[in-house]
Amino acid sequence: EVNIHSFYKEEPAPMGIADYGIGPYGPYKTETTQLLGSVYVGYLSITSPSGNPEVAFQLNGVLNYQYDGNVYALWVQNVVVYNTETHSATVADNVWNFTSPYANVTSLQGNGALGTYGNQTFYSYTYTTTSLVPPFTFYLLLNVTENSAGQPVLYFWANLGSGWVNFDKVTILNAKGASNVYFLVDGDKYTGSGNMYDIELVMGGVGGTATLTSSYVFMNLEYWNGHNFQQILNAYNFGSDTAETVENALDLPYYLNPMTGTLKSGIEAGRGGLNSLWNFTFMGSLTVKAPIQSGYVLVYLTKYGYNSSYAEYAIPFTDYGAKFSLLEGDYAILVYNQEFQLVGEATVNLQGGVYEGTGVANFSV
């Protein structure tokens, strides 16, 4: 299995939330076509040796595809560069080749262009700059599909508070008829370039390490499981595939919503270590089988009782079910149709380290 501390053993490091495919029971693999990150900034200030007041928030994943008998790995970055003094936020993206050491990116078609860093060719595009004054939340989404020619197509999305924008679409031209096209998390092997097959939502300094002087930042990372966006089950508080780093960052787990049994990463200024945020020891995996093809499902801890305000935490699902990564506990499950009428309910005791599945008692509406 991979050594998660191959690249960083202590701060400075890229800090946030990451899935390395390493859990308490060893390595595992996840294949997904979509990655979703959210970042909340209550306040944030930094210092850096260069005097640059910017930090880069990066949603990073490794795209795997097979073509002509070879397996390729591209490192894909969806980025918001945030200026902590002027409060400007610039949306950008990068694609690098992780297939072999110092491999170059070629034959990409999108809004951006190829450039060089050191002796490596990579793809980049800078979309737009807008103003984000704390407190604010923004969202980043990476999506991969194949077009009619079988070429992998990357879609870069951002929502900085005014709705989703697909700001770049990158086609891999020299891979017609590619197969096994997905973002890969794999704790059992490194990419050909010696990097991690991981997914990350991290912050780092721009042009050098940034030192946090004050910080109230929360991050959440989810992946598409074929039914819904699911939180990662084994989370670490640092990334490895990027060179942008921060220090004096204390990165700990917090409740995303206490009543829903979900967690997020929270970063404050302070001396921290590179650790696990949460894992399958005290988290469980819950699969809900739904009586309808698509709708909404609400899962909450029964000790909190039901409150109609919980409806905002109901998540959309498709293909007759949903999967959740949750803290162990007793849960109530409510399934709604597209009109938000209740069509099923269940209760379940979820244990840490257990994959639990349940159907729901059906209602007719």
For the chain, how are helix, strand and coil distributed in percent, rounded to 5? 5, 60, 35
Q: Please indicate, yes or no, whether residues 210 and 287 belong to a single structural domain of this protein.
A: no
Domain count, the chain: 2
Q: Please indicate, yes or no, whether residues 245 and 112 belong to a single structural domain of this protein.
A: yes
Q: Please indicate, yes or no, whether residues 260 and 291 belong to a single structural domain of this protein.
A: no
Check residue 364 and give its pLDDT.
60
**Nearest alpha-carbon partner for 82 in 293, 255, 246, 239:** 246
Check residue 207 and give its pLDDT.
79
Domain boundary among 220, 247, 275: 275
Residue 317 resides in a domain: yes
Q: How far apart are CA 265 and CA 253, in angstroms?
A: 5
Q: Please indicate, yes or no, whether residues 169 and 312 belong to a single structural domain of this protein.
A: no
Residue 3 resides in a domain: no
Q: Please indicate, yes or no, whether residues 189 and 293 belong to a single structural domain of this protein.
A: no
Q: Please indicate, yes or no, whether residues 66 and 166 belong to a single structural domain of this protein.
A: yes
- Alpha-carbon dihedral of residues 349, 353, 359, 363, nearest 10 degrees? 40
Which residue is associated with the tokens 């002027």? 86
What CATH number has the domain bearing residue 354? Answer: 2.60.40.1120
**C-alpha 98: how far from chain center:** 19
- Specify the 3-state DSSP secondary structure of 18: strand
Q: Please indicate, yes or no, whether residues 267 and 153 belong to a single structural domain of this protein.
A: yes
Residue 103 resides in a domain: yes
- Specify the 3-state DSSP secondary structure of 311: helix
Domain boundary among 275, 299, 317: 275
Q: Please indicate, yes or no, whether residues 271 and 294 belong to a single structural domain of this protein.
A: no
Check residue 362 and give its pLDDT.
80
Q: Please indicate, yes or no, whether residues 196 and 297 belong to a single structural domain of this protein.
A: no
Q: Please indicate, yes or no, whether residues 271 and 287 belong to a single structural domain of this protein.
A: no
The identity of residue 308, as a single letter, is S
Residue 200 resides in a domain: yes
Residue 216 resides in a domain: yes
- DSSP β-bridge partners for residue 64: 73, 182
Domain boundary among 231, 254, 275: 275
Q: How many residues does the chain have?
A: 365
The identity of residue 234, as a single letter, is N
| Average pLDDT of adjacent 10-residue blocks, the chain of 365 residues | 97 98 97 99 96 97 98 99 98 98 97 96 98 98 98 99 98 98 99 98 94 98 98 98 96 94 97 97 97 97 94 96 98 97 96 94 69
Residue 210 resides in a domain: yes
Q: Which domain holds residue 316?
A: 283-362
Residue 85 resides in a domain: yes
Check residue 361 and give its pLDDT.
87
Residue 296 resides in a domain: yes
Q: Please indicate, yes or no, whether residues 105 and 167 belong to a single structural domain of this protein.
A: yes
Q: Please indicate, yes or no, whether residues 356 and 312 belong to a single structural domain of this protein.
A: yes
Radius of gyration of the chain (CA): 20
- DSSP β-bridge partners for residue 77: 60, 94
